[in-house]
Amino acid sequence: MRNFLSLSLLSLLFLGWSCTEDEAATTVLVTEEVLYASGEQVRILGRLITNQAVTATDHGFYLSQEANFASPIIISLGAKSGAGRFIGETSGLQAQKNYFVKSFMNIGNGIEFGNTIELQTLAAGIESYSPTSGTPKQEIFIFGRNFTADTQVFFGEVEAQVLENLFESRLRVRIPELKGISSVAIRVQSQDQILTFPINFEYQTGSYVSLRQFPDQVRLVDNISFQLGNQFYVGLGSDRLFRFYEKILKYDPVTNKWTDSVFPGSSRSFGFATDNYLGGGIAQLSREPFVMNNSFWRITVGGYVRLKDLPFPSRESIAFELSNELYVLGGKEGNPRELRKHTALTDSWSSLSDSPLDLGSINPHFVYQNKLYVLGSDKVLYFFDPTSQRWNSISTYPGSVGQGYGFAQVIGSKVYFGGFKRENQVWEFNLETFNWVPKNPIPGSFQNITAASFVQDGFIYFMRQQDINLPGDFPLELFIFDPNGI
């Protein structure tokens, strides 16, 4: 409409000029349109239309929140010669306010004004931020719109340093020091607007303390581990593949002591164990074809009770319990996708739905709300529902799985993955929101492998062993991991 008005005025002027050269000079000042408006900045287009040569000592625009232009903001563009368009801009306005604007010029007869138009400055808005987790002094970007120059950012109650406001739509911010809880809301304050992201920022946390070393000087590999109450059990397997390790030692986190649990069964490597069952593996340290150990044991508070031998070979299988029933999945003998269920009442086995890919002890697994979850070598997190007997996927692991054999331990509604062979990363996965958050990495050499892991009182206990190909004596170390530690 404003452009049409300008064209109409031009047409009239041209028409008048074409009629006679003796008519009086005509000069028109037009406030054409708002080219740009944000939270605090505006850019306005004006036009000087004339049929004579004129020189303005000053020209520009007046802005005010009052229609009578009381106490106006003056955009002075200085002198101007001849007709044509001009653009003025200013900043420092109040967001979400109505303004009146009119052009002005001074061609020797005092200040003259053009028509008045209205504009409204815009509200700030937030869209996203990246990354969603990090450590103090790192930088993040906050994306949105109409951020004013005085925009402040808070992590919880701690103000962050805004390093740069790019195009009023991207804030470069330095993460402040952590004070209090590690999960905090990011709040953006732009003039009198307060905007809060619905998903919290997660400070990268996780502390590690080295506890008592394994009492025997062995490089334990291919062992089993399980937890009975607040006692942790680690053993069997072999010492550097040279000789079997015949014991299962018990660790008490209260006394920080190891004792022998006196396992009466035969030695084995690559066996499986849950909190209530133990079995499978190989009976001789040799190359393929392996001699299998099919003995099968019940674990009780009073010791170990032998059951009927397994009716199938098991090497590097996943074992877990759902509703107090044992399941054995995959492995490196037979069908690597087969899922079997043990019925304790009849001491019998049945086959269930195959998994969607080859699985074994190389893949960390956990049980949550009576479902099995397994992290595949493709980094997809799969789950098995025993009620429907169906397999599905839920998410994709964002970190590195190294060469596998990591841990997966549940605390509340979160599961922690880490300790993979030749990898120090640890990640937290929220089983309610499906968000991944990196934790502080495991200290020490990356050339390690996890031998066992347990959960007690909100902490994860895990044992790391140096790669058997490294020369020297390296004790099997026990660590305690606090996911929220600083």
Please state, in angstroms and rounded to a whole number, the distance separating the CA atoms of residues 443 and 109. 80
What's the Cα-to-Cα distance from 239 to each of 268, 406, 451, rounded to whole Å?
A: 12, 20, 12
Shared domain for 178 and 297, answered yes or no, is: no
Domain count of the chain? Answer: 3
Query: Tokens representing 84?
Result: 């044509």
What's the Cα-to-Cα distance from 188 to each of 127, 143, 147, 159, 296, rounded to whole Å?
A: 11, 11, 9, 10, 60
Shared domain for 7 and 108, answered yes or no, is: yes
The confidence score (pLDDT) of residue 19 equals 41
Count Cβ neighbours within 10 Å for each residue of 197-230 and write b for 16 or more, e otherwise: beebbbbbbbebeeeeebeeebbbbbbbbbbeee
E-only strand ranges, 211-260: 220-221, 224-228, 231-235, 238-239, 243-244, 248-252, 257-260
Count other Cβ atoms within 10 Å, centred on residue 437: 26
Shared domain for 291 and 427, answered yes or no, is: yes
The confidence score (pLDDT) of residue 1 equals 43
Count Cβ neighbours within 10 Å for each residue of 121-148 and write b for 16 or more, e otherwise: bbebbbeebeebbbeeeeebebebbbbb
The CATH number given to whatever domain includes residue 143 is 2.60.40.10
Are the C-beta atoms of residues 374 and 382 closer than 8 Å to each other? yes
Are the C-beta atoms of residues 63 and 100 closer than 8 Å to each other? yes
Please state, in angstroms and rounded to a whole number, the distance separating the CA atoms of residues 104 and 114. 6
Length of the chain: 486
Please state, in angstroms and rounded to a whole number, the distance separating the CA atoms of residues 150 and 245. 67
The confidence score (pLDDT) of residue 201 equals 94
The last residue of a domain, from among 168, 203, 238: 203
Closest CA to 153 of 163, 141, 144, 161: 161
Please state, in angstroms and rounded to a whole number, the distance separating the CA atoms of residues 124 and 196. 12
Please state, in angstroms and rounded to a whole number, the distance separating the CA atoms of residues 374 and 426. 16
Query: Tokens representing 271?
Result: 């066996």
Name the region of 60 (left: φ>0; alpha: ψ -120 to 50; beta: rest): left
Please state, in angstroms and rounded to a whole number, the distance separating the CA atoms of residues 354 and 129. 41
Are the C-beta atoms of residues 200 and 180 closer than 8 Å to each other? no
Shared domain for 347 and 266, answered yes or no, is: yes
Shared domain for 199 and 211, answered yes or no, is: no
Q: Are β-strands 133-134 and 201-203 bridged in parallel, bridged antiparallel, or unpaired? A: parallel
By residue range, what is the domain housing residue 82?
2-120
Shared domain for 299 and 428, answered yes or no, is: yes
The CATH number given to whatever domain includes residue 469 is 2.120.10.80
Are the C-beta atoms of residues 202 and 440 closer than 8 Å to each other? no
What's the Cα-to-Cα distance from 252 to each of 226, 233, 288, rounded to whole Å?
A: 13, 9, 37
Shared domain for 163 and 301, answered yes or no, is: no
Count other Cβ atoms within 10 Å, centred on residue 257: 11
Helix (H, G, I), strand (E, B) or coil at 10: helix
Shared domain for 130 and 106, answered yes or no, is: no
Name the region of 316 (left: φ>0; alpha: ψ -120 to 50; beta: rest): left
Going by C-beta distance under 8 Å and a sequence separation of 6 or more, which residues neighbour residue 480? Answer: 208, 209, 211, 253, 459, 460, 461
Shared domain for 169 and 144, answered yes or no, is: yes
Return per-residue pLDDT of the chain as tens, 486 residues: 444 444 444 444 444 444 444 456 688 999 999 999 999 999 999 999 988 888 999 999 999 999 999 999 999 999 999 899 999 999 999 999 999 999 999 988 899 999 999 999 999 999 999 999 999 999 999 999 999 999 999 999 999 999 999 999 999 999 999 988 888 999 999 999 999 999 999 999 999 999 878 888 888 999 999 999 999 999 999 998 889 999 999 999 999 999 999 999 999 999 999 999 999 999 999 988 999 999 999 999 999 999 999 999 999 999 999 999 999 999 999 999 999 999 999 999 999 999 999 999 999 999 999 999 999 999 999 999 999 999 999 999 999 999 999 999 999 999 999 999 989 999 999 999 999 999 999 988 777 889 999 999 999 999 998 776 666 667 788 999 999 998
Closest CA to 160 of 193, 125, 184, 126: 184
Are the C-beta atoms of residues 459 and 224 closer than 8 Å to each other? no
Going by C-beta distance under 8 Å and a sequence separation of 6 or more, which residues neighbour residue 247? Answer: 216, 235, 236, 260, 261, 263
Are the C-beta atoms of residues 349 and 358 closer than 8 Å to each other? no
Shared domain for 192 and 217, answered yes or no, is: no
pTM of the model: 0.76
Cross-strand bridge partners of residue 114: none
Please state, in angstroms and rounded to a whole number, the distance separating the CA atoms of residues 321 and 368. 11
Are the C-beta atoms of residues 263 and 304 closer than 8 Å to each other? yes
The last residue of a domain, from among 173, 203, 233: 203
Going by C-beta distance under 8 Å and a sequence separation of 6 or more, which residues neighbour residue 316? Answer: 270, 331, 332, 360, 361, 362
Shared domain for 25 and 163, answered yes or no, is: no
The confidence score (pLDDT) of residue 23 equals 54
The last residue of a domain, from among 82, 99, 120: 120
Count Cβ neighbours within 10 Å for each residue of 168-195 and write b for 16 or more, e otherwise: bbebebebbebeeebebebbbbbbebeb
Shared domain for 19 and 116, answered yes or no, is: yes
Please state, in angstroms and rounded to a whole number, the distance separating the CA atoms of residues 123 and 417. 42
